[in-house]
Amino acid sequence: MREKDSSPSRGKLTYEASEDIPVNPTSNATFGEIVQRRFNRREVLRGTLAVTAMGAIAGPIAFGGRQAKANGPAFTFTEIEHGVDTTHHVAPGYKAEVLLRWGDPLFPDSPAFDPRNQSAAAQLKQFGYNNDYIGFLPLPEGSGASDRGLLCVNHEYTNEELMFPGIERQDRDREFADMTKEMVEVEMAAHGGTVVEVRKSGGTWAVVLDSQYNRRISAYETPIKISGPAAGHDRMKSAQFASGNYTIGTINNCAGGMTPWGTYLMAEENFHGYFWGDIANNPEKVNYERYGVPGQWYAWGKYVDRFNLEKDPRSANQFGWIVEVDPLDPNATPIKRTALGRFKHEGAETIVNGDGRVVIYSGDDQRFDYLYKFVTEGRYDPGNKAANRDLLDKGTLYVARFDDDGSATWLPLVHGKGPLTAANGFKSQADVVIETRRAADLLGATPMDRPEDVQPNPRNGKVYVMLTNNSKRKADQVNAANPRPENLFGHIVELTPPDGDHAAEKVTWDFLVKCGDPSKAEVGATWNPKTSEHGWFAAPDNCTFDSLGRLWISTDQGSAWSLSGTADGLFGIETEGETRAYSKMFFRVPVGAELCGPIFTPDDRSLFLAVQHPASDGTKEFPGFERRSTFDDAATRWPDFKDDMPPRPSVVVVTKDDGGPIAT
Ligand code: FEO
Ligand code: CA
Ligand code: CA
Ligand code: CA
């Protein structure tokens, strides 16, 4: 995510972009006084759970004809060295090739990338900036193919100082003085998403430029429909789009997900950062303040009325949603599904429940914010695509409360239930979804340490919650699931739905790992003191499962990589058996980048990775460079390494030298 420049010194914690955002003001469940009591009980519970888990995996776990060992490290690759330098690294025996770079053509008539003369028109025909989520949809539809498919890629945000020559990082203190209207339009065109066909031939992946499916979705010009409980509501009516049923654009698309019916979900995360204007007299003041609107991270409000709340008071209500896209129909209008709530959605990962209902997990990535799930009312019908089309419009949104007895309760965010009534400003379900955070506050949800990707394991139904970090948590604010004050390195929580029922309102939970240096008591020991050959990892952010049901996590430390001593990367982490929580680094990004979007093809033989914002975060801590990178003076020019080419966020594809499945 976009990191605030706070003049860091080496070793000082400087990440967490939202330093200036007011954090959750509520004091839900500050269980400081009961944590010790809970842990005594939980040690007992852990013993019980361990027996259950071991019982469930007795013998080798056999999936897809291959076997993962139950009692030894399941990831059979040699870990790479931790560290930081100007390029990427992958485990020995693998190759990592750059497949798509910012500015690469997506259509036969795309203009050649000319970063010194970029225009919105060119950018709309080229791969966008800061690739984040990657989905892989096999082609032909339903084939399960691993050598041809659509990549669905989010473009989360832009770094003006790395995109435009002669420009330093801009901010509101200097009123974004150097940003022209043309630059803002390029930024808007570089946001959103890309759908692009890719094919593997002779062991090498390439983009299919003349594919009928290729498209760009942007913040600049893409019409987007609004559906679900908030559609057409007065609070959704902006000055420009007065029906409340449409808007233009999607912003800050971080992680996401693919649905079982083949659509692509784009999560709108830090939407607050795009708005300007004084909200003292804004009718949405209370609502906006809970989200940090207006964040003024960008100059957009200077030139585009819908990002200026003085000109368009309610337009910020049209952002902060999950957007559903049909990648097989490039003419289909993307849809904001308001039933899934409005917050800083990190992602939207889906699982089909045993009864056919579909469950979507989503974290709200801010310090002290919450974990959500949505359960559809209707059931997924694998044989009837049309019947699945609007499944995401009806269902129940829940927020999680974690208790000290090792259980968690999913609290329904339903108008009329409990405090969600007109007396508290919730006159309908539209109000509940528009002000999801405030509704969740009233229900007593558990404030978490920045919930990022939330991934159900399709093999065993357990759910993994990435909690990046929370340097602001005080000792009297710890709770059962977030037990460390000043949590610099984050942790991973594992949810176990009863009998695999993801619709259940009560589940059990445990820690998979508390990240940090296990030799240093001051950061809190890892839950499992086992660590990798070369060190430990911090700041779990995105994650995925391979077809063996093994968990892979990517990290986002921001400038704080200097505390762990390594750039971000991809780690395999064991979830079962004696080596539970043991991790190994498989891939490492160049200086300043974070890693996003890990996704395997169905055969595990190709792994797509999104290297986001190379040369951006923490180059002030990079020995020998020690300043903020710009287009003209960058800590790395990855991946081109040409003097006239700025660093470029890019999708990398990893394959094994012998062509076999990865990490087996
Ligand atoms: Fe876009 Fe929560 O990182
Ligand atoms: Ca991220
Ligand atoms: Ca992040
Ligand atoms: Ca994921």
Q: Following CA atoms 277, 281, 283, 289 in sequence, which dihedral angle do they give, to the nearest 10 degrees? A: 60
- Mean pLDDT, the chain, whole residue set: 90
Q: Is 553 in the pocket of ligand 1 (CB under 6 A)?
A: no
- Find the 252 Cα to ligand 2 centroid distance in Å: 11
Q: Please compute the mean of the pLDDT values over residues 220-229 and round it to a whole number.
A: 98
CA of 265 to the centre of ligand 1 (A): 15
CA of 51 to the centre of ligand 3 (A): 34
Q: Does the C-beta of 568 come closer than 6 Å to ligand 1?
A: no
Q: In ligand 1, which atom is closest to the CA atom of 468? A: 2
Q: Where are the domains of the chain?
A: 31-656
Write out pLDDT tens, residues 472-504: 999 999 999 999 999 999 999 999 999 999 999
Distance 440 CA to ligand 3 centre (A): 22
Model pLDDT, residue 516: 87
* Pocket of ligand 1 contains residue 16 by CB under 6 Å: no
Q: What is the pLDDT of residues 446-468, one digit of tens each?
A: 999 999 999 999 989 999 999 99
Query: How many whole angstroms separate alpha carbon 189 and alpha carbon 110?
Result: 14
Does the beta carbon of 393 lie inside 6 Å of ligand 1?
no
Q: Is the pLDDT of residue 82 over 50?
A: yes
Q: Which atom of ligand 1 is closest in space to residue 270's alpha carbon?
A: 1
In 3D space, the residue among 544, 591, 590, 547 whose CA is nearest the CA of residue 571 turns out to be: 544
Query: What is the predicted pLDDT for the residue at 520?
Result: 75
Closest to 444 (Cα-Cα) out of 8, 26, 21: 26
Task: List residues, by chain if needed, whose CB lies under 5 Å from ion ligand 3.
Answer: 1, 541, 556
Question: Comparing 53-62, 232-241, 450-459, 525-534, which segment has the lowest mean pLDDT?
Answer: 53-62
pLDDT tens digits, residue range 284-342? 999 999 999 999 999 999 999 999 999 999 999 999 999 999 999 999 999 999 999 99
Check if 266 has its Cβ closer than 6 Å to any atom of ligand 1. no
Mind listing the pLDDT tens digit for each residue in 117-160? Answer: 999 999 999 999 999 999 999 999 999 999 999 999 999 999 99
pLDDT per residue as tens digits for the range 498-532: 999 999 999 999 999 999 887 776 555 555 556 77
Cβ density class 167-202: b for 16+ within 10 Å, e for less: bbbbeeeeebebbeeebbbbbbbbbbbbbbbbebee
Confidence of residue 59 (pLDDT cuts 50, 70, 90): very low
pLDDT at position 49 is: 27
Rounded to whole angstroms, the Cα distance separating 237 from 424 reads: 22
User: Does the beta carbon of 184 sit less than 6 angstroms from any atom of ligand 1?
Assistant: no
576 in contact with ligand 1, CB cutoff 6 A? no
The ligand 1 atom at the shortest distance from the C-alpha of residue 363 is: 2
Confidence grade of residue 24 (pLDDT, cut at 50, 70, 90): confident
Residue 623 carries which DSSP code?
A: T
Q: What whole-number distance in Å separates Cα of residue 664 and Cα of residue 660?
A: 8
Among the ranges given (18-22, 144-148, 395-399), the one the predictor scored with the smallest mean pLDDT: 18-22
- Mean pLDDT, to the nearest integer, of 587-603? 98
Distance from the alpha carbon of residue 554 to the mean position of ligand 3, in angstroms: 10
Ligand nearest to the CA of 454: 4
Q: What are phi and psi of 368, to 5 degrees?
A: 70, 20
3 within ligand 1 shell (Cβ under 6 A)? no
Q: Is 210 exposed, middle or buried (0-12, 13-18, 19+ CB in 10 A)?
A: exposed
Question: Could you tell me if the CB of 156 is within 6 A of ligand 1?
Answer: yes
User: pTM for the whole thing?
Assistant: 0.92
Question: How far is 658 from 598, CA to CA, in rounded Å?
Answer: 21
Looking at the chain, the whole-number percentage of residues with pLDDT higher than 70 is 88
CA–CA distance, 160 with 171 (Å, rounded to integer): 10
Question: How many angstroms separate the alpha carbon of residue 255 from the centre of ligand 4?
Answer: 7
Poorest-pLDDT segment among 19-23, 110-114, 364-368? 19-23
Q: Return the top range by mean pLDDT from 8-12, 63-67, 71-75.
A: 71-75
* Contacts with 600 (C-beta within 8 Å, 6 or more apart), sequence order: 136, 544, 546, 547, 606, 607, 608, 662
Cα–Cα dist 129/127, whole Å: 7
pLDDT tier at 26 (50, 70, 90 boundaries)?
A: low
Stated as kind and residue range, the H or E segment containing 61 is strand 61-63
Higher pLDDT, 380 or 535: 380
User: What number does the ligand 1 atom closest to the CA of 452 have?
Assistant: 2
The per-residue pLDDT for 160 is: 98
pLDDT at 25: 61
- Give the pLDDT score at 28: 59
Cα 30 to ligand 1 centre (Å): 25
How far does the centroid of ligand 1 lie from the alpha carbon of residue 56, in Å? 34
Distance 594 CA to ligand 2 centre (A): 7
Given pLDDT bands bounded at 50, 70 and 90, which one contains residue 535?
confident
Q: Whose CA is nearest to atom 3 of ligand 1?
A: 1
Distance of CA 251 to the CA centre of its chain: 13
Q: What percent of the chain has pLDDT over 90?
A: 84
pLDDT digits (tens, 9 = 90+) for 401-445: 999 999 999 999 999 999 999 999 999 999 999 999 999 999 999
Q: Which ligand is nearest to the CA of 344?
A: 1
pLDDT of residue 531: 72
Question: Is residue 16 predicted with pLDDT exceeding 50?
Answer: no
Task: State the ligand closest to the CA atom of 1.
Answer: 1
Amino acid at 316: A
Q: Residue 469: nearest ligand to its CA?
A: 3
346 lines ligand 1 (CB under 6 A): yes
* Closest approach atom of ligand 1 to CA 157: 1
pLDDT of residue 315: 98
Quick one: pLDDT at residue 572?
96
Confidence (pLDDT) at 12: 35
Burial 555-588, CB ≥16 within 10 A → b, else e: bbbbbbbbbbebbbbbbbbbbbbebbbbbbbbbb
- What pLDDT, on the 0 to 100 scale, is given for residue 17? 42
Report CA(382)–ligand 2 centroid distance (Å).
32
254 lines ligand 1 (CB under 6 A): yes
